[in-house]
Amino acid sequence: MSRNTCLIVSGAVIGSCLALPATAQQDQAARTVAQSSFEDIDTDLDGSISRAELRAAPGGGQNADQLFSAMDANGNDQISGAEWTSWRSQQQALRPAGSRNEVELAITGDTFEGRYLTDGGMIGVDRAILGLGFYFDTERNLVPQGQLMFGGPLRGRLADFISFSVGGKAHMAFLDEPDDEVFSLAPGAEVRVSLPFQLPMAVVGSVFYAPDILTFGDAEHVWDLNLRFEVQFLQSTTGFVGYRVLEFDREESGGDDTIVDGFQFGVRFAF
C-alpha cells in the first residue's frame, strides 16, 4: 500500500494528510454519502438526485461518478428514491464488523420487546447480523432470544429493492401457569421490500419455526412470525407498525401458550 504524508504549517494551523488507495477512498466516500438522507442531497427537491447534487454532497467529490453509477440501477442518469434506498441498504449490509449497532423497542397491549442488533463479526461470524433480545408480558412470561441471519443467498437473482436473508432464532422461555421452561432452535427467513418513496420505507416479513425435534421442555413446537411496515423518518431513527406472533404449543397446558398475537408498534435507533 503506497502511503504519502504531508505536513502543512500556516500560522497556528498544523494538519496532516494521508493519500489512500483509490478503492479505500471510494469505500470511505460511500460510507460518508450513506450517512446523508435523500432529502439532504436532493437540494432542488425535484424527487431525484443528479450527478451535480451527488458531487456536492458530503463524501461525493471526486468519487461522485463511481458512486452515481453504482446507484443508478436503471441507467437513466437520475437517482430515484427507490434506487437511493436500495443502494443505502446495500451499504449498510456491507459495513465492516462492529459498525452496526441498533436498539429496537416495541410494544403491544400487554407485551414489551427489546432487541440489540450488531454485526456477526462480534462473535467471529462475518457477513451476518446478530440479534439479542427478550419478550416480557403481563402474565409474567419472559422469553430471552438470540438471532443470527445471513444475507445474500439469492443476491443477483432478485430485484434490487428486494433483500432476502436466512438464519435462525434461539428462544429460552420462562413460562408461567404452569411454571416451566422451554428451549427451541427455530430456522427461518426474512424478506425486505424497499418502497419507491423519498422517505426510506419498507415492508418486512419473517417466519421462524421450531419443530418438535428442535424444541425442548414443555412444548412441541414454536412459531415466531412478524410482518411490519417501516419508515425511516430520521437519519438514525426508524418507526414501524406490524403484526407479531410468538406462540408455544405446550404439552402440559394442553394447548397453545401465546406470548404475543396482535399489532405491535415500535422504534429502532441506529448508533
56-74: average pLDDT = 82
Question: Is residue 9 over pLDDT 50?
Answer: no
**Are 54 and 145 in a shared domain?**
no
What's the confidence (pLDDT) of residue 235? 75
Contact between 263 and 241 under an 8 Å Cβ cutoff? The reply is yes
**Are 178 and 158 in a shared domain?**
yes
The residue among 42, 71, 93 that closes a domain is 93
Pairs from 92-100 (Cβ < 8 Å, separation ≥ 24): 92/34, 93/151, 93/152, 93/163, 95/31, 95/119, 96/121, 97/121, 97/122, 97/126, 98/122, 100/129, 100/270
**Any domain includes 34:** yes
What's the confidence (pLDDT) of residue 104? 97
Pairs from 4-11 (Cβ < 8 Å, separation ≥ 24): none
**Are 81 and 159 in a shared domain?**
no
What's the confidence (pLDDT) of residue 245? 95
pLDDT in tens, 102-138: 999 999 989 999 999 998 877 888 778 999 999 999 9
Q: How is residue 79 annotated by DSSP? A: B
**Are 224 and 163 in a shared domain?**
yes
CATH number at residue 55: 1.10.238.10
Q: Dmax over Cα atoms in the chain, in whole Å?
A: 81
246: closest CA among 271, 223, 217? 223
**Are 123 and 242 in a shared domain?**
yes
**Are 127 and 71 in a shared domain?**
no
User: pLDDT grade, residue 19 (50/70/90)?
Assistant: very low
CB burial class (10 A; 0-12, 13-18, 19+) of residue 75?
Answer: exposed
**Are 33 and 160 in a shared domain?**
no
What domain range is 84 assigned to?
21-93
Task: Give 156 or 233, the one with higher predicted confidence.
Answer: 233
189-193, 220-224, 229-233, 248-252: range with lowest mean pLDDT: 248-252
Pairs from 31-35 (Cβ < 8 Å, separation ≥ 24): 31/59, 31/91, 31/95, 32/58, 32/59, 33/57, 33/58, 33/59, 33/60, 33/67, 34/87, 34/88, 34/91, 34/92, 35/59, 35/235
**Any domain includes 109:** yes
**Any domain includes 150:** yes
**Any domain includes 6:** no
What's the confidence (pLDDT) of residue 155? 66
**Are 61 and 127 in a shared domain?**
no
**Any domain includes 15:** no
**Any domain includes 3:** no
**Are 65 and 120 in a shared domain?**
no
**Are 58 and 188 in a shared domain?**
no
The residue among 67, 93, 119 that closes a domain is 93
219-244: average pLDDT = 93
What's the confidence (pLDDT) of residue 3? 38
What's the confidence (pLDDT) of residue 24? 54
Tell me the pTM.
0.69
CATH number at residue 135: 2.40.160
Question: Is residue 22 over pLDDT 80?
Answer: no
What's the confidence (pLDDT) of residue 212? 93
Pairs from 93-101 (Cβ < 8 Å, separation ≥ 24): 93/151, 93/152, 93/163, 95/31, 95/119, 96/121, 97/121, 97/122, 97/126, 98/122, 100/129, 100/270, 101/270, 101/271
Compute the distance between CA of residue 157 and CA of residue 120 in angstroms, rounded to an integer. 24
**Are 244 and 118 in a shared domain?**
yes
**Any domain includes 2:** no
Q: How many domains does the chain have?
A: 2
**Any domain includes 164:** yes
**Are 123 and 83 in a shared domain?**
no
The residue among 42, 64, 93 that closes a domain is 93
Compute the distance between CA of residue 42 and CA of residue 58 in angstroms, rounded to an integer. 12
